[in-house]
Amino acid sequence: MKKDYSSNILNSIVVIGIILTLIALLAMPLILTAMLKSGLGIVGSSLPMNISIVIYICAAPYVIALFILKKLCKIVAIKQPFSRDIPKYLKKISICAFSEILIYNIVQVLLYYIFDIYLYGLTIILAIVVSFVSLAIGFLSLVLSKLFDMAIEIKEENDKTI
């Protein structure tokens, strides 16, 4: 009997990604406070807390998408490629990606104008990169969702005729 290690490897990579993301999110306030105190000399300010809250807000769709990806990996691991859940999960991932564009850019504008945080070129480049990557992931998962819908319909039609 042939063993398929690729689904186990994929599942392990997603679990490691989730663990590393959660560790990074938990460590972010400490790292940010240390960086602002040592690098910029900002002491006694609410700036690290505000930036940490903003990072958590921006990370929410990403973390949700990772857990949805974990569910997709489970479907792949049990070898059910024509499950009706796959298009639903892919649509949810696309919603998370599109919402990330809005959340990130709104939060970035709020940081600019409310807290007077300007990093000029770096923030503009990051806004473009995050928006482009999220847009690409959103459209990719939306197209894959439609593709899986059509494949499932064709399979069900073939199963009825045989």
* Domain segments of the chain as ranges: 6-161
Q: 120 falls in which pLDDT band (50, 70, 90)?
A: low
| Structure tokens belonging to residue 126 | 């990051």
Average pLDDT, the chain: 85
Residue with tokens 């400490």: 30
pLDDT at position 3 is 58
Q: 102 falls in which pLDDT band (50, 70, 90)?
A: very high
User: Cβ neighbours of residue 105 under 8 Å, at least 6 residues apart?
Assistant: 127, 131
User: Cβ neighbours of residue 49 under 8 Å, at least 6 residues apart?
Assistant: 29
CB 61 within 8 A of CB 97: yes
**Chain mean position to CA 119:** 24
Residue 7 has pLDDT above 90, yes or no: no
Q: What is the pLDDT averaged over residues 88-102?
A: 95
pLDDT at position 97 is 95
Q: How far apart are CA 64 and CA 33, in angstroms?
A: 26
